[in-house]
């Protein structure tokens, strides 16, 4: 199966749909999702909370039957697909403010969000992704090094492998902050970064698209 993640930056058009369709994913973990985002042949589930008037924090889209779960955190959507829990999260960034993160430094907000998020998810059978606002190696641009350490701890506790760890960001010299993590037992066939451009070379988002082909077992 193929799974992908993309921060749509609250945008939606035929060009966005065309780029998504071309990746032939079975499950999409889309963040900053406008409320009219729709993929033909896919069921969907969005966070109740919104970033803005028409923008949800996150959504899970699937070709297979989707069973929505309560949001484990206001900025995370979760659903059961094919017997697995799929969670899509936006995590704090340096200029994120306090809603829905609370007060504190970036690392404190990240640790708090992770604690709430993982407390709301069942143990095992988890695929987790989205815009984590943290590179997992190299220079840290959007998040914090302490936040990166906290995310790594969660990945280890949940026995997840991060398939996007070494992929580049659209900004040269940086690594991606958009991620897909799957169980360590899963077989990873391939991982791809897709530049988020339309046919005329125009940027469709300030984030690129990341996909992985895998066998969950």
pLDDT digits (tens, 9 = 90+) for 32-50: 999 999 999 999 999 999 9
DSSP state for residue 87 in the 8-state scheme: E
What whole-number percentage of the chain has pLDDT above 90?
Answer: 94
> pTM here?
0.95
pLDDT of residue 121: 92
For residues 143 and 127, what is the distance between their CA atoms, to the nearest angstrom?
A: 22
Show me where the domains of the chain are located: 2-215
What's the rounded Cα separation, in Å, for the pair 92 and 144? 9
> In the prediction, which pLDDT does 122 show?
76
The shares of helix, strand and coil residues in the chain, as percent rounded to the nearest 5, are 15, 40, 45
Question: With contact defined as beta carbons under 8 Å apart, do 101 and 149 qualify?
Answer: no
**pLDDT greater than 80 at residue 124:** no
Q: What value, to the nearest 5°, has the Cα angle with vertex 57 and ends 130 and 185?
A: 25
Q: How confident is the model at residue 123 (pLDDT cuts 50, 70, 90)?
A: low
Average pLDDT over residues 184-195: 95
Give Cα separations from 25 to 36, 161, 175 (angstroms): 20, 19, 22
Superfamily of domain 2-215: Endonuclease/exonuclease/phosphatase (3.60.10.10)
Strand partners, 34: 55
pLDDT tens digits, one per residue of 2-26 = 999 999 999 999 999 999 999 999 9
């Amino acid at each position: 199966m193929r799974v992908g993640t993309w921060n749509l930056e609250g945008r939606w058009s035929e060009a966005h749909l065309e780029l998504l369709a071309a990746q032939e994913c079975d499950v999409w973990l889309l963040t900053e999702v406008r409320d009219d985002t729709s993929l033909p042949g896919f069921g969907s589930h969005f966070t109740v909370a919104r970033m803005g008037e028409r923008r949800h924090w996150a959504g899970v889209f699937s070709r297979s039957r989707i069973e929505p779960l309560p949001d484990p955190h206001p900025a995370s959507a979760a659903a059961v697909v094919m017997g697995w829990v799929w969670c899509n999260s936006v995590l704090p960034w340096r200029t994120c403010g306090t809603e829905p993160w609370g007060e504190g430094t970036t690392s404190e907000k990240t640790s708090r969000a992770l604690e709430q998020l993982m407390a709301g998810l069942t143990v095992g059978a988890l695929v987790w992704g989205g815009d984590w606002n943290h590179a997992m190696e190299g220079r840290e641009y959007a998040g914090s090094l302490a936040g990166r350490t906290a995310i790594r701890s969660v990945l280890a506790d949940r026995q997840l492998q991060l398939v996007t760890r070494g992929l580049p960001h659209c900004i040269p010299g940086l690594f991606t902050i958009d991620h897909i993590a799957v169980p360590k037992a899963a077989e990873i066939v391939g991982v791809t970064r897709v530049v988020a451009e339309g046919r005329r070379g125009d940027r469709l988002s300030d984030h690129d698209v990341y996909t992985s082909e895998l066998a969950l077992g």
